[in-house]
Structure 1
């Protein structure tokens, strides 16, 4: 049968009155309903009573509503639509109605829908015996079953569901109001609630309780945290989270957030009373934010303070062994970097004495790159100007002569020129020259009574000769010998060394002008850096990179006491050996080792990672020798591993930890189990911290988190089930 198309603007004379009654509303109807509607059907007719009948693949578009049905009848006297299903009506992007039959007003926004199902944001499904649309915003449903779980013919019982005598969906407030609600899990009734309000899936800032968290700790006992979210307006909100445990812990966490046109601010913390410190109020406070300022400047700050060292560890406030706060103002452009920072430090390691360490620092730095291609000298000039001030607040009474209270101010200016040339035979030559001036003033330390000024200059020539070849299998090999000669000279001035006592030596700085990452100590003397790189790129997608190198110096490295066991301490450094293998299947293996002149392994590190669609593995093995100079009294042989796997049934597991082979003890052990499908998330985690240098008191912690997905903006994406077709 040929399909007939009927539009309001072009109806024939014999149907004009009936169709106009269908698509035009009374003046009292809101303005959005005044827009014309479009009707398509296989057959349209007017019966003797004057009713419009449309049958066969009926579709109606009216404003934001699109309706499909098998039959629609319209009576102009009652201005009602009689619709026969199956009915699918989509009201905007967030609501879909499915039904068998319906009686609706001409604007499709009021009426009764029977054997209906409402789908909100393609997540929450609400099945009702009868559905009433009272106006554009309110939908009332009777005898309701609500769930975001998949319901199939072979599995008609959802994993969780809420049954209620009546549910009202307020589209303006974006909330669901349940009357006589009953929560069921796997068909078993668990909780009865006379009244219940939930945000619909489109609501992400509804006032009310958030997902509770349950935890157990060997130091704090068994307890639960119940957050309560309070939106103040569209830009501000507050979250309060009281915590109670069986070991008399009473705590209140708080968080305030505010969004601005060019940034955001967050302030929070916790106040607690526990049995670990009876009679004392403990807690922490943090503030963080980021703002975009004029002239491309960015202001960032992240400040954290705790009542005591043990509190930050007991409550797992920070994951690392050092607490750092900073306020940073910076601007990064293509050839320019400007940064000003205020920093605060506090070590959580029990072996560290914070009185010995700088507690605060101020830094300012301006870096500029100037291209010189238009000049005969060519290359580029890098300028670096900066200032830093830091200090120790009090002396350490145990060693007053070595760690006095003092304040230090350092100014520096540095200029570096660098250029590359291509020589005959494909040799790449790089030349560089650097000059630096440091001026230091020390207050409070009798060892440095006068201002100190240090001049330093360096020059470098580097040659690289890459060779490339392709083997019979199509693999490409690149061999590159590298030779670098560096001459350095500085005024013999002993500056205070607070920012770096030990230079680093790895594949990243084998050919660097300076191996100290700080500024107080400088690399000095004449040295030759030699290395050989070999890379292979296979057509099957895997690659291998290797590097062997060593440093020869005319004099021993300055700053190391005689007999210090260190990779750079002698006139000849250890041999550096590094390799990295990458496979297309997601496997990556890297190894780095420093081999002493006698051929023994001095220190080394190996890392392995592998990942695919379901499995992730990451492990590392570290070996470091004992060194008094590096504040390491014992050899370190540490192994860390983390393994995660996601199963097809929605389950995922993870295990990990660290083990010290030298001490034959674990540092941390952790395990977790997660279940996630389209409507439920259950996350269990267990961690055990053993006694280490950063944690003298062992502790065990257990956390449980349960979330109903598809409610309140919580996406139901994940390992969702689907019905078989």
Structure 2
């Protein structure tokens, strides 16, 4: 125990010399309480407390059968069974103790030390040295709960001598044997382990075993190095017959931010005579005046490295640095992005690799009874290729085209409430765009456009309050809009993918960027329904459609907007208080009677399971470089079978090719002293996964130490028969 506690106990006992009764009240300045069946004073210098002795001071508690304190020698004789508990929850149990007045030196027989209600150290005798060390001989250490004298723990460490350093919170072993069911498995002449109260200690972390068809049978052994209170570094050697890899992680917390770097360097037989590596770094900082700085760095040496070592499943890497500021009336963002494609059919030289983007928006409420919004956007993207025409690839995009654009916009909007609850809205918009194009023989070097727009909107919300607190809403909505100007003869470099959903049903332009805008008269109508039941569940749906004067050739067929009449938009959701949530969205082509795009997601979460399933369908569309339809479902679920067993399963299945893209499962067994996890995963060949592989992983952690996790959550109750 700590020195100040030991001094407090001596003060408590010394004060009790003047108290012949069984109790003493708390008093200012750190007074103590001593309770016993009998308290006597012998020869004016010896205090003897017997029978259910209990002493309390400063959150610590001592329980014993008999305590004898000699004021002249300062010696304490404590007869047990004795139990000493400090405010941190550490417990020292012994049959008998002989200590000095400072509790710094002495001998305890039949001692058992319980650290943080987790790790038990049982010994024949223990010696207190210097008020800091507890030296124990013939020791058995375990975090497994042992209910009887003949019960064998699942694991234990036997040692001839163990020293617990209270200040450093470290445990040192001499001649240690690691035993499983009392069978010696490993011998350590010397061993050091942090006690469970130490959260950051230099040393080895829990190792893991991995078997892969690509990398063979290997082992990972992490080593953790704290660099002060706010920084740490973790090295993880990964060794197998195929690879020699060193993984690293660096973390640092600042007063106003944090950073984390993850990386690895490998030499393997998959890529002979080549050093393979990757680096992921991310960080965020809170700056003055509500500014925020974020950065995200992702890079790798080759396309297959992340997949081969299961570091990431991304098929494109993006590195970005972003400066942003958000206030109640304004938003600002400026970011610089670098893209690296890992797809087999793409080349970094012909992709927009460097992107610079900034935007600003300002709201001015109350102007002419409505709200004025002012904004600006500046964007530029650069390709490494200097070829001013389309090469041999099939993307039909000029290989070296670089584009910069600037947009200034202003809008004013206002709503009115009419008779019968009808809501009317008016929106006016004006865009001014400037484009600069380089390294494209098929396009002009510059272009400008001025685009005015106006839209009128009607909503008629109907609400109903049902018995018990239920609420229902039915809201038909209609909008008609006109957008003027003409589209300049510039390439479509940013608006190649258009989404149509309930979020942009009433948008003036559904293109994602300014190089394409919807023109002419466009109308949209929709119906929204929402219901919340008093039992806690809720549901709703949205139905919508768009009509336009003329079909827009820039809109692809899979967007659902390419004809004069759009596909029907159907979206809905359901959520229950049992943890079930379902949402779905689809585009229905009435003319052909088919679904052109659909997605659905379902989750079910409760105390025992967490299940998530999703489905995606996108029709074939040559304009979006998709030669075949995409149809796949994915599943990810975890289930607790009981107190000790849990499992998970995950997968992604391609319905078009009738094959799995990825599948795996995991099983975890856990009790109060051990956690074991086994995983198996199969990854199949794809455009980003060139080589199929099967991986098996095993991790076994011993609880009760700071590196193995807490042992408190799974404590068993011993039963006597």
Q: TM-score, normalised by structure 2?
A: 0.91
Residues 240 and 252 of structure 1 are in contact (CA less than 8 Å); yes or no, is this contact kept in structure 2?
A: yes
2:369 and 2:469 mapped to 1: Cα distance? Answer: 39
Residues 7 and 39 of structure 1 are in contact (CA less than 8 Å); yes or no, is this contact kept in structure 2?
A: no
Secondary structure at the counterpart of residue 304 of structure 2: helix
| Deviation string, structure 1 residues 531-561 (Cα, Å, up to 9, x no partner) | 1122222222222201211111111124147
1:94 and 1:525 mapped to 2: Cα distance? Answer: 74
Correspondence for 1:579: 572
RMSD: 2.8
Quote the offset at 1:571 in angstroms: 0.6
Secondary structure at the counterpart of residue 622 of structure 2: coil
| Deviation string, structure 1 residues 653-709 (Cα, Å, up to 9, x no partner) | 111211112211111111111122222221111111112233232111122222112
Correspondence for 2:419: 424
Residues 202 and 713 of structure 1 are in contact (CA less than 8 Å); yes or no, is this contact kept in structure 2?
A: no
Correspondence for 2:377: 386
The equivalent position to 1:110 in structure 2, one of 97, 105, 127, is 105
Quote the offset at 1:94 in angstroms: 5.1
1:43 corresponds to 2:34: no
Shifted more, 44-53 versus 649-658: the winner is 44-53
* Structure 1 residues 154 and 168, CA gap change in structure 2 (3 angstroms): closer
* Structure 1 residues 415 and 123, CA gap change in structure 2 (3 angstroms): farther
1:652 and 1:8 mapped to 2: Cα distance? Answer: 52
1:1-150 matches, within 5 Å, as 15-16=17-18, 37-48=32-43, 50-62=45-57, 65-93=60-88, 95-150=90-145
1:632 corresponds to 2:626: yes
Quote the offset at 1:581 in angstroms: 1.4
Secondary structure at the counterpart of residue 398 of structure 1: coil
Correspondence for 2:340: 346
Residues 498 and 555 of structure 2 are in contact (CA less than 8 Å); yes or no, is this contact kept in structure 1?
A: no
* Structure 1 residues 164 and 543, CA gap change in structure 2 (3 angstroms): same
1:718 and 1:167 mapped to 2: Cα distance? Answer: 23
2:463 and 2:262 mapped to 1: Cα distance? Answer: 58
1:688 corresponds to 2:679: no
Quote the offset at 1:325 in angstroms: 0.8
The equivalent position to 2:585 in structure 1, one of 582, 592, 595, is 592
Residues 379 and 417 of structure 1 are in contact (CA less than 8 Å); yes or no, is this contact kept in structure 2?
A: yes
Residues 412 and 438 of structure 1 are in contact (CA less than 8 Å); yes or no, is this contact kept in structure 2?
A: yes
Quote the offset at 1:122 in angstroms: 2.3
Correspondence for 2:561: 568
Secondary structure at the counterpart of residue 679 of structure 2: strand
1:676 and 1:380 mapped to 2: Cα distance? Answer: 59
The equivalent position to 1:272 in structure 2, one of 261, 266, 277, is 266
Quote the offset at 1:64 in angstroms: 6.5
* Structure 1 residues 534 and 655, CA gap change in structure 2 (3 angstroms): same
Residues 524 and 558 of structure 1 are in contact (CA less than 8 Å); yes or no, is this contact kept in structure 2?
A: no
Residues 617 and 631 of structure 2 are in contact (CA less than 8 Å); yes or no, is this contact kept in structure 1?
A: yes
Residues 143 and 711 of structure 2 are in contact (CA less than 8 Å); yes or no, is this contact kept in structure 1?
A: no
2:227 and 2:397 mapped to 1: Cα distance? Answer: 54
| Deviation string, structure 1 residues 177-214 (Cα, Å, up to 9, x no partner) | 01111111233221111110001112222222222121
Quote the offset at 1:169 in angstroms: 0.7
Secondary structure at the counterpart of residue 693 of structure 1: coil
Correspondence for 1:309: 303
1:355 and 1:407 mapped to 2: Cα distance? Answer: 12
2:645 and 2:137 mapped to 1: Cα distance? Answer: 36
Residues 159 and 186 of structure 1 are in contact (CA less than 8 Å); yes or no, is this contact kept in structure 2?
A: yes
Quote the offset at 1:474 in angstroms: 7.0
Correspondence for 1:403: 398
The equivalent position to 1:518 in structure 2, one of 513, 516, 523, is 513
* Structure 1 residues 8 and 182, CA gap change in structure 2 (3 angstroms): closer
Secondary structure at the counterpart of residue 306 of structure 2: helix
* Structure 1 residues 565 and 161, CA gap change in structure 2 (3 angstroms): closer
* Structure 1 residues 236 and 604, CA gap change in structure 2 (3 angstroms): closer
Correspondence for 1:533: 528
Correspondence for 1:357: 351
| Deviation string, structure 1 residues 585-614 (Cα, Å, up to 9, x no partner) | 111222222111233333322322212111
1:708 corresponds to 2:702: yes
Secondary structure at the counterpart of residue 563 of structure 2: coil
The equivalent position to 1:438 in structure 2, one of 433, 436, 457, is 433
Residues 604 and 623 of structure 1 are in contact (CA less than 8 Å); yes or no, is this contact kept in structure 2?
A: yes
2:89 and 2:114 mapped to 1: Cα distance? Answer: 8
* Structure 1 residues 255 and 527, CA gap change in structure 2 (3 angstroms): same
Correspondence for 1:414: 409
Correspondence for 2:177: 182
Quote the offset at 1:92 in angstroms: 3.9
1:231 corresponds to 2:226: yes
Correspondence for 2:602: 608
1:490 and 1:188 mapped to 2: Cα distance? Answer: 85
Shifted more, 227-236 versus 476-485: the winner is 227-236
* Structure 1 residues 524 and 109, CA gap change in structure 2 (3 angstroms): farther
* Structure 1 residues 674 and 17, CA gap change in structure 2 (3 angstroms): closer
The equivalent position to 2:166 in structure 1, one of 166, 171, 174, is 171
Correspondence for 2:445: 450
* Structure 1 residues 344 and 37, CA gap change in structure 2 (3 angstroms): same
Quote the offset at 1:61 in angstroms: 3.9
